[in-house]
């Protein structure tokens, strides 16, 4: 499953893993969401509906370029820096193109849609 985030000419492509959490996000697309910086290491947004945590591990240690779901808060987090293991964090996929543009997405609306 492939998706893209776009905002004012910036495009970030993501390859999602085949798991229940990723499939539920994919099924909600297309979406326009407000994206914001969190803790100077990730960009976050809230999908309209909470995502499944079925079969997910207890937590995950994200790397730069990972897209994840933080189940305690119900937000999607896209990391632009490596981070430590976090309980409730579920890996959903990875940026395949445009990682260098991730930091420039700030406090504004982003379009997320399916790609071929």
Token pair listed for 63? 């790397």
Q: How confident is the model at residue 107 (pLDDT cuts 50, 70, 90)?
A: confident
Rounded Cα distance, 67 and 92, in Å: 6
Longest dimension (CA), the chain: 37
**DSSP conformation class of 88:** T
Beta carbons within 8 Å of 89's beta carbon, 6+ residues apart:
59, 60, 62, 68, 69, 70, 71, 77
Single pTM value for the model: 0.95
Domains for the chain: give ranges and CATH numbers. Answer: 2-114 (2.40.100.20)
pLDDT digits (tens, 9 = 90+) for 7-65: 988 999 999 999 999 999 999 999 999 999 999 999 999 999 999 999 999 999 999 99
């Amino acid at each position: 499953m492939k998706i893209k985030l776009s905002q004012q000419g910036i495009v970030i492509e993501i390859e999602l893993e085949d798991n229940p959490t990723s499939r539920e996000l994919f099924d909600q697309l297309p979406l326009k969401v407000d994206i914001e910086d969190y803790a100077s290491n990730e960009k976050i947004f809230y999908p309209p509906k909470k995502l499944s945590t079925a079969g997910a591990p207890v937590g995950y240690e994200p790397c730069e370029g990972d897209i994840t779901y933080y189940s305690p808060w119900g937000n999607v987090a896209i990391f632009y820096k490596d981070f430590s293991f976090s309980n409730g964090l579920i890996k959903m996929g990875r940026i395949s193109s445009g990682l260098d543009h991730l930091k420039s997405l700030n406090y504004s609306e982003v379009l997320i849609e399916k790609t071929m």
